[in-house]
Structure 1
Amino acid sequence: MVQAGKFRPNTSAVLVPTFCVKKPVGCRIVHDYRHLNLAMILPAIPMPRKEDTFDAMSGSHWFSCMDLFWGYYQIKLRESDNPFTAISTPDGSFEYLGTPMRLSGSPWKFNRLLQIVFKDLRYVMRIYFDGIYVFTQSEDVADRVEALDRVLERCGEQTLLS
């Protein structure tokens, strides 16, 4: 992740616990940001509901789903906040440069960015966390391709990786 520009070496004396959680296939590295999360003040803005996403897509003939690669990590942190994300690994201590998963503000911040970036495309897409769902009411495959092109073009303009 250092080579990908997602975190960098750190010399912070305060590190969050890191451990592995078993998944059906492999494991996931998890950082315990509970203490930092308790100190965060979050906006009182609701997150999207999957039911609203399904309602928006009802009656559509074509559906496509994209996952944004590196999701939350694409939201850059303020330089002064990077040390608060410091973790310890067998290879040394590191701090995140983008918003890490498990930080309580990450989903809200990422979703808010995506809502702004794609606000004029809501008639053909919905966002649910780091997923983009593209749909078209028309049976014409050309309309589907046009909707996908518009969404992917916007991802490219904003350097969002899908």
Structure 2
Amino acid sequence: MSIGNTPGSSLARKLNLLLDTAEAEGRKVSYNDISAAMKAAGTPLSRGRWHYMRAGTGPAVKKVELLQNLAEFFGVNKNYLRDDGDDELPARVEAQMELLTTLREKKVRNFAARQLDGLTPEVLLQIRNLIDQQLDGHDEND
């Protein structure tokens, strides 16, 4: 989903991060899961509203109870999703995002290694070391 600079873009970014984090933790969260939880919490959520909240394309969501119930569903601070809430990533979300980044880097390395099949082990080690040096140098410059 493309998230621009709209009134709901901050909420959309946060919701999508929470969904990615849940997936990284092995929970595939569907709209039906969220809808059932919100209905049980007394803040029903339509599929259309969920879509525009995730896309950041609709009006800003002002219903505090809905935002707090969504935050509770994902296990983060109840004010995390509010516009005036804490914009800092919850520690669990931040840790999962770092893990995902590491896993993606390893997948790239493994893919490259498979593509270089037939090279001597020495050459493969040199290539791996060059990649590691580039990644380590990139992290220092960020």
Q: TM-score, structure 1 length as denominator? A: 0.26
> Is the strand fraction higher in 1 or 2?
1
Higher helix share: 2
TM-score (norm: length of structure 2): 0.28
Higher Cα Rg, which structure: 2
